[in-house]
Amino acid sequence: MRLRKIAAVAVMIMLSAAAVFAGGSSEEEAASASGRPVLRVAMECGYAPYNWTQTTDANGAVPIADSNDYANGYDVMMAKYIADALDMDLQIVKLDWDSLVPAVQSGIVDCVIAGQSITSARLQMVDFSDPYYYASIVCLVKKDSPYADAQGVQDLRGVTCTSQMNTVWYDVCLPQIPDANILPAQDSAPAMLVALNADRVDLICTDMPTATAATVAYPDMKLLDFSGTDDDFQVSQEEINIGISIRKGNTELKDKINSVLATLTTDDYNEMMNEAIAVQPLAQ
């Protein structure tokens, strides 16, 4: 659930992906040995519990294109569900975060399922499905932190903090903390967790699934959830609705994906997310 700026990397993506997708740059051309169409889904494969990389196909992991590794996580589970419902074969494409939107725009992949929030800025570049998850914003601290009993944003006054670069957590939420000592942003979700675990900061801001998974991987971390109080972070609805990005104008694929999502409920989403958290590598 990350509000990030898109880097000018489209040319680099197209060059790097050419070796992987030579001869198949559109969904019409992509087909598997089975003869079924292929749904090419991009994600970071490094943002647990949404998606991660592992070395085996354990727990239903899917091979990553042009790699000996496998991808798993909530986004992979959702991609498998959608592909199966549409009678398509699934291909997972691992890309850096800033490469995801340009990859959709250029047709290198069919869609991105990677914990993207449905923001007005992104909607200028790509189309989005209906939400496939709703993620509230929370904080993580150490259990022995002086901020461990904070009941709201005001109680975090003066905290040393960070989050992931180009996210609503870093750009919108942290500045709402009074007198916050905001350190430079981290380049990934794992990096911000390491910063907190190593006591380089007192607090990080993230979304509920990421924080819940982190408390499993790092038992000495505590989740602070101010939702439902008068002193919560102020964010718009678009910043907590998570959707699947699709090339602008590809209404056929968008409608197909929405038809599949319509068969799922919020309880289904939460059950799938809980399953992802339970099998994430650091939780074992």
Q: Which domains does the chain have, with CATH numbers?
A: 10-134+240-283 (3.40.190.10), 137-236 (3.40.190.10)
Which pLDDT belongs to residue 32?
A: 60
Above 80 in pLDDT, residue 228? Answer: yes
Quote the pTM value: 0.79
Predicted confidence band of residue 282 (pLDDT cuts 50, 70, 90)? low
Above 60 in pLDDT, residue 283? Answer: no
Above 50 in pLDDT, residue 66? Answer: yes
Predicted confidence band of residue 3 (pLDDT cuts 50, 70, 90)? very low
Torsion, Cα of 189, 119, 124, 255 (10° steps):
100
Q: What average pLDDT does the structure give for the chain?
A: 88
CA distance linking residue 41 with residue 198, whole number of Å: 34
Distance of CA 245 to the CA centre of its chain: 12
CA distance linking residue 138 with residue 193, whole number of Å: 14
Above 60 in pLDDT, residue 183? Answer: yes
Which pLDDT belongs to residue 1?
A: 53
Do residues 103 and 93 make contact, with C-beta atoms less than 8 angstroms apart?
Answer: yes
Predicted confidence band of residue 165 (pLDDT cuts 50, 70, 90)? confident
Beta-carbon contacts of residue 175 (< 8 Å; ≥ 6 apart): 182
CA distance linking residue 140 with residue 234, whole number of Å: 17
CA distance linking residue 109 with residue 32, whole number of Å: 15
Which pLDDT belongs to residue 236?
A: 83
Above 90 in pLDDT, residue 18? Answer: no
CA distance linking residue 170 with residue 185, whole number of Å: 7
CA distance linking residue 34 with residue 15, whole number of Å: 28
Nearest by Cα to 223 from 236, 242, 209: 209
The larger pLDDT score, comparing residue 210 to residue 1, is at: 210
Above 80 in pLDDT, residue 170? Answer: yes
Above 60 in pLDDT, residue 208? Answer: yes
Least confident of 56-65, 150-159, 210-219: 210-219
Question: In this structure, what token pair is assigned to residue 233?
Answer: 């972070």
Distances in Å between the alpha carbon of 214 and those of 66, 204, 269?
A: 29, 11, 19
Q: Which amino acid is at 17?
A: A
Predicted confidence band of residue 11 (pLDDT cuts 50, 70, 90)? very low
